[in-house]
Structure 1
């Protein structure tokens, strides 16, 4: 685990563009006031929208097998066969 560099409140104010660029690049910071840590600036995780084919293939190989009969029985047991009509009063 790497140690986050400390920046002062004044540094944050005066060098905000530089610091925000560093955060966007994956750097984290601990913000201090009067020598005491008061907060952390960390990059947000971005969700991937695409999984490469090789990664999907590797994940699929290690996935557990599914017994179709058991799966269908579970579906039948939990699904409503005749859902109530929401308009009947």
Structure 2
């Protein structure tokens, strides 16, 4: 659940707020009653081993580099995507 907290409360109690975030709580930071930021715990990263990545890549179709770069040249110019 997102707990509202003022900018002043965050400044004065930042240690306690960060401990609460580490324990899984989320906060909406307000300034003059207007929500301006959200503090959430970071999600743990999912690491894939080199062997798992190789297995996943082996299941994908082969990439033709010439075809890939031709497609890329067709849709992107020096300034970004065509048509923007």
TM range (shorter): 0.5 to 0.7
How far does the alpha carbon of each residue in 1:2-51 deviate from its partner, in whole angstroms, 9 at most, with x for none? 4x1100000000000000000011100000000110110011101256xx
Matched, 1:25 2:23: yes
Greater share of strand: 2
SS state at 2:30 partner: strand
Deviations 1:60-84 (A, max 9, x none): xxxxxxxxxxx7xx87xx389xxxx
Equivalent pairs, count: 54
Cα distance change on mapping 1:27 and 1:79 into 2, 3 Å? closer
Which segments of structure 1 move beyond 6 Å, counting only runs of 4 or more?
Answer: none
Query: Which of structures 1 and 2 has the bigger CA Rg?
Result: 1
- Unaligned 5+ residue runs, structure 1? 50-70, 81-89
CA-based RMSD = 2.5
Q: TM-score, normalised by structure 2?
A: 0.54
